[in-house]
Amino acid sequence: MKTLALAASLVACLATPGLAADVEHGALTISGAFARASAGMAKAGGGFMTIANIGCADTLIGASADVSERTELHTHIKDGEVMRMRKVETIDVPREGTLELKPGSYHVMFINLHAPLKEGQVIPVELEFRKAGKVSIDVEVGSVGAKAPAKHMTH
Amino acid sequence: MTFLKPLWPLLAAFSLMASATAQAQEAPALPRIGGDFALTTHLGQAATQANFSDKPLVIFFGYTFCPDICPTTLAEMVGWVEELGQDKDKLHYVFVSVDAGRDDQETLAYYVDAFFDELVGLYGPQDRIDEIVRAYRVYAKKVVDPEEASDYTIDHTASVYLMDRDNRYAGMISFGESHDAAVAKLRKLIDEAT
**pLDDT score for A146:** 85
Q: Hey, what domains does chain B have and what are their CATH numbers?
A: 38-193 (3.40.30.10)
- The 10 Å Cβ neighbour count of residue A62 is 17
- CA dihedral over A24, A29, A31, A35, signed as positive or negative: negative
**pLDDT score for A25:** 94
**pLDDT score for B29:** 56
Task: Report the chain B residue with the minimal C-alpha distance to residue A118.
Answer: B114
Q: A with B: how many residue pairs have Cβ under 8 Å apart?
A: 102
Residue B103: CB partners within 8 Å, gap ≥ 6? B63, B64, B97, B111, B123
A chain contacts of residue B145, beta-carbon cutoff 8 Å: 87
Residue B146, helix vs strand vs coil = coil
Q: Which of A69, A81, A102, A112 to mutate to test the interface with B (most CBs of B within 10 A)?
A: A81
Return the bridge partners of B129, or none.
none
Question: pLDDT (tens digit, 9 = 90+) per residue, B131-147?
Answer: 999 999 999 999 987 77
The Cα–Cα gap between B155 and B152 comes to 10
Question: pLDDT (tens digit, 9 = 90+) per residue, B30-46?
Answer: 568 999 999 999 999 99
> What is the reported pTM?
0.80
**pLDDT score for B101:** 94
Q: Which of B65, B68, B173 to mutate to test the interface with A (most CBs of A within 10 A)?
A: B68
A chain contacts of residue B72, beta-carbon cutoff 8 Å: 103-104, 145, 147
H-assigned helices in chain A: 2-15
The Cα–Cα gap between A1 and B150 comes to 50
The greatest distance separating any two alpha carbons of chain B, rounded to the nearest whole angstrom, comes to 63
Cα–Cα separations (whole angstroms), residue A154 to A72, A93, A148, B79: 30, 29, 10, 13
